Amino acid sequence: MRISYRQQRGATLIVVLILLLIITVIGIFAIRTAMTSLNIATNSQISQLLVQTGDTPTNQFVNVSTYEALRSADIAIGAAIAEHINAPGKEYIFCYRPTSDQRMGASLDVTVLVPPEKADLPNTKATIDSTQSNRSGFCDLEKDFGSAREAVVTQVAIRIPTSSQSEVVGASLERDSDLSKESLVKKSKGDDARVRITTTSILPSYSTEDLATVQAECIGSSTSVGYINDNLDDDVAGKRTMAECLSGYGIPVNVQVQELLLQQITEQVSAPVPTP
């Protein structure tokens, strides 16, 4: 039996098509695997970048500033401590702008947010205490970047906790170091203060919406106010935060919360001179 030239050519074409199909399928799987690996790597890099950026403001407060500087009224922490005595629960927010010549956390660049009432709906926004602040504390998602890379924006919020500690009174005191108790020196010491710092690092370029819309809805602008940053206390539990709002627009965020206990400790370094 003889096979014609046309039949041979047709069989060869079918084999070639099958091979091309197999190669295409293998290529698709290879591309998907590569894209998945790239996505994982990108997500890891994004998370690392946000975490590193969010650490910086708190580290500057803790490692650079002194007790006296932090308690000063011209710094956000000191202003929040003073205001907490008569009007507890307010948030003192500012934008971390290391590329500018502004002093970090200066009270002149702080916006004071009044959180919603406990009975308000979860998605209720904050209001501004305009009697002692302006709107300069809101980060601008289009220009307030933390470096020349113009990638990450960092919003910082200071709040004095209103929920009571579960520890007994004095549990946080350092043992055998405060020797001024029951002495005249005690009267000149500042009171201990709990301070909670919430830093939210933001990557605006991933937004699924126009940044001006996100700015007005989540953070705040010259004509609007966004959400609170800290909802950890009982009086604001369950309230929507700025970070939750940003995530709703597809924007990667990293929220870091650190609570500080400011204490002024007097340590006796020499024995008292006996009175003759």
Instruction: Check pLDDT > 70 for residue 224.
Output: yes
Mean pLDDT for 189-216 is: 89
Quote the pLDDT of residue 154: 94
* 253-262 sheet: strands from edge to edge: 127-128, 111-114, 91-95, 153-159, 193-202, 253-262
- Tell me the pLDDT band of 41, cut-offs 50, 70 and 90: very low
* 45 alpha carbon, distance to own chain's centre: 17
Mean pLDDT for 272-276 is: 64
Mean pLDDT for 99-108 is: 70
Instruction: Check pLDDT > 70 for residue 116.
Output: yes
CA distances from 156 to 24, 88, 145 (A): 51, 18, 13
Place of tokens 């295409």: 24
Among the residue ranges 5-9, 139-143, 225-229, the one predicted with the least confidence is 5-9
Percent of the chain beyond pLDDT 70? Answer: 74
Buried b (16+ CB within 10 A) or exposed e, 177-205: ebebeeeeeeeeeeeebbbbbbbbbbbbe
Instruction: Check pLDDT > 50 for residue 114.
Output: yes
Domains of the chain, by residue range, sit at 38-163+185-267
Is residue 53 packed enough to be buried (19+ CB in 10 Å), middle (13-18) or exposed (0-12)?
Answer: buried
- Tell me the pLDDT band of 6, cut-offs 50, 70 and 90: low
Quote the pLDDT of residue 124: 96
Instruction: Check pLDDT > 70 for residue 89.
Output: yes
Which distant-in-sequence residues (6+ apart) come within 8 Å of 51 by Cβ? 201, 254, 256
Quote the pLDDT of residue 217: 96
CA atoms within 13 A on the CB side of 118: 7
Among the residue ranges 103-107, 122-126, 130-134, 197-201, the one predicted with the least confidence is 103-107
Mean pLDDT for 197-210 is: 93
Instruction: Check pLDDT > 90 for residue 40.
Output: no
Quote the pLDDT of residue 263: 76
DSSP 176: T
- Tell me the pLDDT band of 68, cut-offs 50, 70 and 90: confident
Max avg pLDDT among 33-47, 64-78, 150-164, 232-246: 232-246
Place of tokens 């602008």: 221
* Mean per-residue pLDDT over the chain, rounded: 80
**CA-angle at 153, arms to 131 and 55, nearest 5°:** 95
Mean pLDDT for 125-132 is: 89
C-beta separation of 91 from 99 below 8 A: no
- Give SS3 for 260: strand
Q: Looking at the chain, list the stretches that DSSP marks H as alpha helix, in order from N- to C-terminal side.
A: 5-63, 67-71, 76-84, 211-214, 242-247
- Give SS3 for 94: strand
Instruction: Check pLDDT > 50 for residue 211.
Output: yes
Quote the pLDDT of residue 268: 60
The better pLDDT of the pair 179, 52 is held by 52
